[in-house]
Structure 1
Amino acid sequence: MNLLDRYIGRAVAFGMLLTLSLVLVLIAFFSLVNELEEVGKGAYTTAMAFSYVGLILPRFAYEVFPVATLLGSLIGLGSLASSSELVAMRAAGVSVSRIVGSVLKTGLVLLVVVVAVGEMLAPLSEQRAQRMKMEALSSQVALQTRYGFWSRDGDTYINIRAFLPDSSLADVYIYEYDPDHSMRRITHARRAVLIDGEWELQDLAQSDFWEQKIFSQKLAGLRWPGLLEPELLDVVTVQPHMLPAWDLWAYVAFLKQNGLSAAQYEVAFWSKLVVPLVTLVMLFLSIPFVFGPLRSVGIGQRVFTGAVVGTLFFMFNRVFTYLGVVYEFNALFTAAFPTLLFLLVALLFFRRVT
């Protein structure tokens, strides 16, 4: 990057980081207010609520970064426009395309950092936050591992390998021991469904150990009330934002193998891959506003305009995502269409200022 790239990049990067910080402060405040309502339930404390909010912020940083780039670029380039520095650059022969290139270079550098945070740090910190909250709220002795969810009820140990989107459980193992710690029975259920506050195990295979002999049987269904506290479902159920892209793809394959709808997770997977394009589009969209209708207005009006455009994109993206899941649109089309539409709008505006 030459001197001009660095100069423009510093202004844009400062605007982006300032915007991102302010947005995260607001998100943290409202998230903390929500978490404080849970304080006092079980062993959940105020300190845990603060820790929980801190651990989920990397995920929010990843999600709001595209909109923060739009606002930050408007602030950074707007400050250069207000001091007539952009006019001086144009007078010196620097084209709008050259300035766009400098902005995009800065965006790409920050994007690499944010994607690394979103795909590596955020899922781990989110899972740690959920595990901490689960252990505090649950009266069961519970543990979340790479081999699934484990809980203990007296001399019975329960291993749940998968939590499905419809709030049912899959691949459930129950190990029952005698007081002398010898194995008494192993139960495996392909699925468990919550009915009237009690879990019903379905498609079971049981093996009883008795006097050095094993007795096996298969059952269609069996009620097991103490399998998992229902209030923990919201905490331990797999959410799309809790998984990196590669784990989302594997989870989609798992759902399809079990004959379950994977539309929500497919859209989430492609949305993660589209994030770099969304960020670049938001950066590109800021250029026409700075060199066009907002070139002579104050920073407050630029921020307001950017917030309106960013909100419109966010809302349209969410609505179209829901429509795509409900009406089973192609997942890639559902994830990419809002971004491509705003890219088209940005190109139309860009042609007017060049």
Structure 2
Amino acid sequence: MTVLDRYLGRQLLLGTLISLINLLTLLGVMNLFDELGDVGKGRYTAGYAFVYVMLGLPRYAYELFPIAALLGSLAGLGALANNSELTAMRAAGVSLGRIILSMMRTGLVMMAAAFVLGEVVAPPAEEYAQQMRSDLIAQQITLRSRYGFWARDGLSFINIRKILPGAALEDIQIYEFDAGGRLKETTHADFAQYQGDKWKLSGIRQTQISEEGAKVKIMDESTWTSLLNPDLLKVVVVKPHMQPVWGLYRYIRFMRDNGQNPNQFEVAFWGKIFSPMVTLAMLFLSVPFLFGSMRTVSIGQRIFVGSLIGVVFFLLNKAVSYMAVVYGFNALIAATFPGLAVLALAFWSMKRVH
């Protein structure tokens, strides 16, 4: 990495970080005011509302990262353009392609950071926030611990690690006791789907315990009759955008194997796959604003134009995702369309620069 790469990268990273902090501050304040309306319900206090909002910020940072990259490039590198530093680089023999390559290298680092944020930090943080909020407000789950949710159904105790949309559960452990309080059977299932008035279990390992010893039985599928009502679990459903890519992939396979439509989860899956790449497209889109006819305008004007583009992209991304879920559009096309639109706009703008 040359001095030029480090210099441009530092300006780009600093601008992106400042833009992201500003966006998250604005969004956090708005969400906090929205949450204050639920303060007083159950044991939900203003302090818990603040914690809930803070735990949700990593996901918003992940979603807003491409927009922050665009604004950061317009602000950080825009300052260099206003000071004629980019012009001096060009005059010294540094080609436009070389500057773009340097920006893309920094963009790859930003992509990696966005991936870690969206797939490692955000899912557990928001899942915990959702569970905490639901537990404090609704108080419909018997017990929530670091090991998931616990509920009692007669002589059975049920541990649920994850509650999914569509009356589905993931990683379930059922402990059945006899009237004397002795453990007689344990059942572990990878997934459970509520159908009719019963639960359909998949990927089952059942252990029956008696005086003679333990007997293990492996089954692909089985039914489970329980008073556990899925309506009581709706308040703690883990939404698709809260799950990491590998969790979405597993659940998509489960739904397909059970003849269900996984479109909602496929849209979220492909959206997460392509979201970091949109960051590079946004950086590429910023180039015409740095070297084109707008190279002499103020940073404020650049930020204004970048903000408009960011808002349009955000709304387009959400609209296409919702339409894909409602009307059953191809999830891969829905996930890639906004990014391809940005890339097409960037190439069109670049042609005007040349």
Contact 1:20 1:64 in 2 (8 A): yes
Residue 10 (structure 2) aligns with: 10
Q: How far off its partner does 1:152 sit? A: 3.6
Deviations 1:228-261 (A, max 9, x none): 58465133x1211211111110011111122221
AA aligned opposite 1:150: W
Inter-CA distance 265–73: structure 2 relative to 1 (3 Å threshold):
same
Of the structure 1 ranges 83-92 and 175-184, higher mean CA displacement relative to structure 2 is found in: 175-184
Partners of 1:263 and 1:229 in 2: CA distance: 21
Deviations 1:59-84 (A, max 9, x none): 11111101100011011121111111
Residue 284 (structure 1) aligns with: 284
Inter-CA distance 279–191: structure 2 relative to 1 (3 Å threshold):
closer
Of the structure 1 ranges 321-330 and 304-313, higher mean CA displacement relative to structure 2 is found in: 321-330
Partners of 1:154 and 1:27 in 2: CA distance: 45
Inter-CA distance 160–291: structure 2 relative to 1 (3 Å threshold):
same
SS at match of 1:43: coil
Residue 131 (structure 2) aligns with: 131
CA RMSD of aligned residues (A): 3.3
Partners of 2:128 and 2:226 in 1: CA distance: 31
> Which residues of structure 2 form unaligned runs of 5+?
202-208, 210-222
Partners of 1:279 and 1:269 in 2: CA distance: 17
Q: How far off its partner does 1:180 sit? A: 4.9
AA aligned opposite 1:19: S
Q: Does residue 142 of structure 1 match 2:143?
A: yes
Partners of 1:10 and 1:172 in 2: CA distance: 47
Inter-CA distance 172–50: structure 2 relative to 1 (3 Å threshold):
same
Of the structure 1 ranges 19-28 and 40-49, higher mean CA displacement relative to structure 2 is found in: 40-49
Partners of 2:159 and 2:6 in 1: CA distance: 54
Inter-CA distance 190–93: structure 2 relative to 1 (3 Å threshold):
closer
Inter-CA distance 66–170: structure 2 relative to 1 (3 Å threshold):
closer
Partners of 1:171 and 1:19 in 2: CA distance: 39
Residue 326 (structure 2) aligns with: 326
Partners of 2:12 and 2:200 in 1: CA distance: 59
SS at match of 1:260: coil
AA aligned opposite 2:338: P
Contact 1:172 1:191 in 2 (8 A): no
1:99-248 counterparts in 2 under 5 A? 99-137=99-137, 138-143=139-144, 149-152=149-152, 157-160=157-160, 163-167=163-167, 180-182=180-182, 191-192=193-194, 200-201=197-198, 224=227, 227=228, 230=231, 232-235=233-236, 237-248=237-248
Deviations 1:185-243 (A, max 9, x none): 9999965479xxxxx44679xxxx9xxxxxxxxxx99794xx358465133x1211211
Q: Does residue 26 of structure 1 match 2:61?
A: no
AA aligned opposite 1:309: I
Q: How far off its partner does 1:56 sit? A: 1.5
Partners of 1:353 and 1:156 in 2: CA distance: 70
Deviations 1:309-351 (A, max 9, x none): 1111111122222222333333222211221122112111112
AA aligned opposite 2:258: N
Partners of 2:21 and 2:193 in 1: CA distance: 44
Contact 2:127 2:238 in 1 (8 A): no
AA aligned opposite 1:254: F
Partners of 2:271 and 2:200 in 1: CA distance: 36
Q: How far off its partner does 1:266 sit? A: 0.9
AA aligned opposite 1:142: L
Contact 1:170 1:191 in 2 (8 A): no
Partners of 1:348 and 1:184 in 2: CA distance: 69
Q: How far off its partner does 1:173 sit? A: 7.5
Deviations 1:12-38 (A, max 9, x none): 111100000001111211221222222
Residue 92 (structure 1) aligns with: 92
Contact 2:153 2:226 in 1 (8 A): no
Partners of 1:120 and 1:223 in 2: CA distance: 34
Inter-CA distance 145–83: structure 2 relative to 1 (3 Å threshold):
same
Q: How far off its partner does 1:262 sit? A: 0.5
Residue 62 (structure 2) aligns with: 62
Partners of 1:203 and 1:87 in 2: CA distance: 66
TM-score normalized by structure 2?
Answer: 0.82
SS at match of 1:37: helix
Contact 1:141 1:153 in 2 (8 A): no
Deviations 1:125-178 (A, max 9, x none): 1122223223323154223666x6322478653345764533466898876757
Contact 1:15 1:73 in 2 (8 A): yes
Partners of 1:114 and 1:53 in 2: CA distance: 19
AA aligned opposite 1:143: R
- What is the percentage of aligned positions where both structures have the same residue? 46
Residue 48 (structure 2) aligns with: 48
Inter-CA distance 154–223: structure 2 relative to 1 (3 Å threshold):
closer
Q: How far off its partner does 1:182 sit? A: 4.2
Deviations 1:44-64 (A, max 9, x none): 222222222221211111111
SS at match of 2:143: strand
Contact 1:100 1:287 in 2 (8 A): yes
Inter-CA distance 333–201: structure 2 relative to 1 (3 Å threshold):
same
Partners of 1:255 and 1:162 in 2: CA distance: 15
